[in-house]
Amino acid sequence: MLMFFLFISGFLSFVSVRKHILNMLLSLEFIMLGLIVGLINVFMGVEPESYFILYFLTFAACEGALGLSVVVALIRTHGSDFFYSFNILEC
Cα-based distances in Å from 22 to 11, 65, 67:
15, 12, 9
Q: Is residue 90 part of a domain?
A: no
Which neighbouring-strand residues pair with 20?
82
Cα-based distances in Å from 16 to 3, 24, 32, 85, 87:
20, 9, 18, 17, 21
Q: How many domains does the chain fold into?
A: 1
Q: What is the structure's pLDDT at 62?
A: 92
Contact status, residue 9 vs residue 30, Cβ threshold 8 Å: yes
Q: Which CATH number goes with the domain that contains 17?
A: 1.10.287.3510
Q: What is the pLDDT along the chain (91 residues), one digit of tens a residue?
A: 888 888 888 889 888 877 777 888 888 888 888 888 888 888 887 777 778 888 888 998 998 899 889 888 878 877 777 766 666 545 5
User: What's the domain range around 50?
Assistant: 2-85
Q: What is the structure's pLDDT at 45?
A: 75
Q: Is residue 45 part of a domain?
A: yes
